[in-house]
Structure 1
Amino acid sequence: MGDIVVIGGGIVGLSTAISLSRRFPHARLVVIEKEDRWAKHQTGNNSGVIHSGIYYKPGSLKAKFATEGNRQLVEFCEKNDVNYEQCGKLIVATKQSELPLLENLYQRGIANGLDISIVDDEQIKQQEPYVKGIKAIKVPQAGIVDYKQVCETMVLLLKEQGAELYLNTEVKKVLEHDHNVEIITTQNTFTASYVVNCAGLHSDRVTKMTGVEADLQIVPFRGEYYELKPEKIHLVKNLIYPVPNPDFPFLGVHFTRMVQGGVEAGPNAVLSLKREGYKKADIDLKDISEVMKYKGFWKLAAKYWKEGAKEMWRSYSKKAFVKSLQELIPSIQEDDLVPASAGVRAQALQSDGTLVDDFFITSGKRSIHVCNAPSPAATACLPIGKEIANRVPEMNISPRWIVHS
């Protein structure tokens, strides 16, 4: 059935599988996913933004792949009738102290090749009548899309190309040998020539299974959202973002019009007590124990404890959450918002307390591991997939591989 196994059925795993099928058209390819449906976690619980690449350090993989991915994703949606819209967004400075940060962000966007502009308060009002700001960056390349529909389309394409796709198949052990690799799962044991780990929230664990050493651990951060009531969605025309704190690796609470309708507000960013913990009450003792025992977490906490405390307060106080939103749209009130579903970000953290800022991909003897691919990975999925496929070496792909029931 296959010569290459991809672990993980989110958007990065599926796009990687598509690139692998193009690079190795005669190889047999399998994608395995532990859940009962594709794109159940990070991909299926994000806000559906097509990012432009403005935020990321010039020359980084995030900057390169986000800008390339934006263009390629739009082309993919056009070609495959996936619902999307390049509606643009505003990154709004609401106080004088933010103007130098806005200018730095503008220069970063220019360095990343974006066609952006700075607009004044009157121009802000023309685009977003309810926003109060003094200056903003207009980013026409930003957009919205249904990433679940993108993944459903990728699954259909993979089936057409002859790939084998397995749901409800959780990896328990990976054994790398000189001439093959064994993937032991809850359903079968697969023996193949190469394995690609796109396991997202569990990517560090799969990496360790192969014996590959990487100085990082996944720390899950839950992003909590509210949704505007239907009678209040007129307050937001498209995408409205604050100027991000350059010392904190999250973008701040913002407004996102969704392609399927409605407007989301958020997210905050709080430590999740479970890797797949979408509710405050979700706790997994193994997951939280790993975080608490990891020295990198405590170094991170010591550095960002003030920001972390604010995020926690916003998590438990709707009033505090709304106060942050009112910096952008002063007329927003608590009664205008209802709770929406949350997402969990798989953020890699190094032992010295440094959050891995860029996409991080490493290799073993017969394996490639995507160890850090948070936002904007959905936007960047197609160039990420191509990069991973190009890293799989030309090898004597065995004429068949074995599945042990």
Structure 2
Amino acid sequence: MRCMYDMIIVGGDLTGLSAAKAFHEREEGARVLILAQSAEEAYTENNMIDTEIYARKNTVEQNLVKQGHEELYRFCDQHSIPYKKCGKLIVAKDEKEVELLHFLQKNNEDSTVLSQEELFEQEPFALGVGALYIPSAGIVDYKKVSLALLQEVKESGAEIRYDEKVKSIVEGKKSIVVETNNGAYYSKKYINCEESQSDKVAKLSDYYTDIEKFPLQRQYYAVEEAKLQHIVSPVPSALAPFLNIYVAPTFNGGMEVGSSINENHDKGNIKEFISNISSIRKASSYKGMIGTYKKAMKDVGSEEYFLEQVQTVIPSISREDLIPRFTEQDQAVITTDGQFREGFFFINGECSAHVVQIPYYGKKASFAIGQYLVNQVYEPTLLS
């Protein structure tokens, strides 16, 4: 006799675990199955909690990020996990960028535009003509968050299966069949948050997107000397909105610096990936996508560009100070018309919900995103 689950969640990262937590809170005693490729999906070493300031004011996106970070801090309090709301300074190098700070400030009433003198008072090591200060940003021991959430989800009764790669999905109005390399699973509902492959998983359910995800490898560094009290970052680059360059204090007294895009990462895999796109996309669309990706990598995909951006805001950091610490896999999301897709991207199905894209500033908002996905399974709405 086949087993029928109440919910199948494809993806074992923090968003998937958060969705399982939210579903159990809504349906106590429900049978939940999480299909994950590896146990490592749940863990991240990047400890920065960013800000919702990059999302448009009073939108679902902004509320998700803000609520997600607030719930993260509450979860840390409940589980005695260390964190620090140190705030973030987005530093402008010239008056043109100061204008951008005033534009961003409209997205967050709690943020403050600082003069050059006020910036220096806050961070003597930072260099700029002004800055935007956002007090809600912070740092957290995110590995401890992952372990605590994983334990909570297991104790609630969720079943987690690893080494699962989804091959096909048949979605009806009242049930789902998910077939993986290890067999078929049956459920009343399912959530897709397999971040790196979520667009492909959605396609298996006949939900098509106008995007491709180009693989990136982010390199993060440690600096042993402690110089900062706040997170400091340059104004985001218009060349490549997927960049996330910052310098942050750490709990051990040093600094975390992220993230460069490794231009030598998986050159063979990139060529194979581009070849695969060429075979499934019309010539006009894949050429635009690949051209956008290659131009971005040429412009920003080097250690030299990364170091230049870091030194723009913290000039005392040298190349010799940067100690490679860890890497993370990520994606640049590009539409068929050759544009970078920014922000969140959700799809609602008959009895499913899919998160196709989470912007870098929303990566730590998993508690709210998981709750949102569960709500969408029951009462689908359009994101606005």
Normalising by structure 1, we get a TM-score of: 0.83
- Per-residue CA shift, 1:213-256, capped at 9, x if unaligned? 2222222233233322x2xx223333101112346414553212
Offset, 1:165: 1.5
Q: Pick from 392, 401, 405: which aligns with 2:377?
A: 392
Corresponding position: 1:287 with 2:306: no
- Code of the residue aligned with 2:226 in structure 1: it is H
- Per-residue CA shift, 1:356-389, capped at 9, x if unaligned? 2221111233322111123233322122111111
* Counterpart residue number, 1:52: 51
How is 1:371-386 mapped onto 2 (pairs within 5 angstroms)? 371-386=356-371
Corresponding position: 1:5 with 2:8: yes
How is 1:307-318 mapped onto 2 (pairs within 5 angstroms)? 307-312=296-301, 314-315=302-303, 317=304
How is 1:98-109 mapped onto 2 (pairs within 5 angstroms)? 98-109=97-108
Measure, in 2, the Cα distance between the counterparts of 1:290 and 1:61.
34
* Counterpart residue number, 1:368: 353
Equivalent pair of 2:227/2:255 in contact (CA under 8 Å): no
Measure, in 2, the Cα distance between the counterparts of 1:63 and 1:140.
16
Measure, in 2, the Cα distance between the counterparts of 1:243 and 1:132.
13
Structure 1's 331 and 179: CA in aligned 2 closer, same or farther, altered over 3 A? Answer: closer
Measure, in 2, the Cα distance between the counterparts of 1:286 and 1:14.
32
* Counterpart residue number, 1:341: 326
Structure 1's 377 and 252: CA in aligned 2 closer, same or farther, altered over 3 A? Answer: closer
- Code of the residue aligned with 2:275 in structure 1: it is S
How is 1:5-404 mapped onto 2 (pairs within 5 angstroms)? 5-40=8-43, 44=44, 47-110=46-109, 115-228=110-223, 230=224, 233-246=225-238, 248-251=240-243, 253-259=245-251, 262-269=254-261, 279-280=265-266, 283=269, 286-291=272-277, 294=281, 296=285, 298-300=287-289, 302=291, 307-312=296-301, 314-315=302-303, 317=304, 320-393=305-378
- Code of the residue aligned with 1:13 in structure 2: it is G
- Per-residue CA shift, 1:163-184, capped at 9, x if unaligned? 1122222222222245421112
Offset, 1:208: 1.4
Alignment RMSD (CA, Å): 2.6
Measure, in 1, the Cα distance between the counterparts of 2:56 and 2:96.
22
* Counterpart residue number, 2:382: none
Structure 1's 36 and 282: CA in aligned 2 closer, same or farther, altered over 3 A? Answer: farther
Equivalent pair of 2:259/2:306 in contact (CA under 8 Å): no
Structure 1's 286 and 175: CA in aligned 2 closer, same or farther, altered over 3 A? Answer: farther
Measure, in 2, the Cα distance between the counterparts of 1:330 and 1:98.
18
Measure, in 2, the Cα distance between the counterparts of 1:226 and 1:6.
33
Structure 1's 123 and 303: CA in aligned 2 closer, same or farther, altered over 3 A? Answer: same
Equivalent pair of 1:181/1:191 in contact (CA under 8 Å): yes
Measure, in 2, the Cα distance between the counterparts of 1:342 and 1:68.
27
Offset, 1:190: 0.9
Equivalent pair of 2:88/2:135 in contact (CA under 8 Å): yes
Equivalent pair of 1:174/1:209 in contact (CA under 8 Å): yes
Which deviates more from structure 2 when the two are superposed, residues 13-22 or residues 240-249? 240-249
- Code of the residue aligned with 1:309 in structure 2: it is K
Measure, in 1, the Cα distance between the counterparts of 2:155 and 2:259.
37
What is the identity percentage for the equivalent residue pairs of Structure 1 and Structure 2? 28
Offset, 1:133: 1.6
Structure 1's 291 and 224: CA in aligned 2 closer, same or farther, altered over 3 A? Answer: farther
- Code of the residue aligned with 1:32 in structure 2: it is L
Equivalent pair of 1:296/1:354 in contact (CA under 8 Å): no
Which deviates more from structure 2 when the two are superposed, residues 261-270 or residues 166-175? 261-270
Measure, in 2, the Cα distance between the counterparts of 1:160 and 1:252.
35
- Per-residue CA shift, 1:111-164, capped at 9, x if unaligned? xxxx12122223322322211222111111100123332222111111221111
Offset, 1:15: 0.6
Measure, in 2, the Cα distance between the counterparts of 1:271 and 1:213.
30
Structure 2 unaligned blocks of 5 or more: 380-384
Structure 1's 368 and 260: CA in aligned 2 closer, same or farther, altered over 3 A? Answer: farther
Offset, 1:60: 3.5
Measure, in 1, the Cα distance between the counterparts of 2:371 and 2:18.
8
